[in-house]
Amino acid sequence: MWRKAYKYFDHLEDKVRGFLSHVPIFYALVAGVGIVLFWRGVWYTGDVVIPSILMFLNQYFPGVQLLDYDGPITVLLSMGMLLLTGIFVSQFIGNEIIISGLRGDKKTVEKTEDEIREEAKKLRALQEEERKELASLHDIRQELAEIKRLLEAKEKE
């Protein structure tokens, strides 16, 4: 039963995405509204769940009004969740920034026009080298095919 429902909604998603991809502005509008509504639901669920949890915990900490610390407790809880899942750093900083920092690269906005041109030149050189290597590999494959053909012909004699 779950498989049928999954298959149906997967097929429906493909059709909707196919339709929306032809109208990108409407696609962006639908996606934006969907994202906002999703986070609104998360927000309101948190508004219901967190106070309930804090009221339950107040039984064990009778001298402290935990509801007064709703915000900081929510921040700590969410940080713990994000850190445990490995999302915290990549979400707020981004992988590209971390990698460029480890390599010691400058941010793109800090690079001069000459540096950007130099990087583009290096990329073009690497692409040309890759093209030559692929052509060489193609030639080797053709030579191997020719050798194989000659060996098969010699075996038949």
pLDDT digits (tens, 9 = 90+) for 11-27: 888 888 888 888 889 88
Is pLDDT of 113 > 80? no
Q: Is residue 129 part of a domain?
A: no
Q: What would the mean pLDDT of 16-45 be, rounded to a whole number?
A: 88
Q: What would the mean pLDDT of 47-75 be, rounded to a whole number?
A: 81
Q: Is residue 105 part of a domain?
A: no
Q: Is residue 90 part of a domain?
A: no
What the block records as the tokens of 11 is 């097929």
Q: Is residue 100 part of a domain?
A: no
- Rounded CA gap, 91 and 96, in Å? 11
Q: Is residue 27 part of a domain?
A: yes
Domains: count for the chain: 1
Q: Is residue 34 part of a domain?
A: yes
Q: Is residue 44 part of a domain?
A: yes
Q: Is residue 118 part of a domain?
A: no
The confidence band for 95, taking pLDDT boundaries of 50, 70 and 90, is: low
The confidence band for 146, taking pLDDT boundaries of 50, 70 and 90, is: very high
**Residue 30 near residue 20, CB atoms below 8 Å:** yes
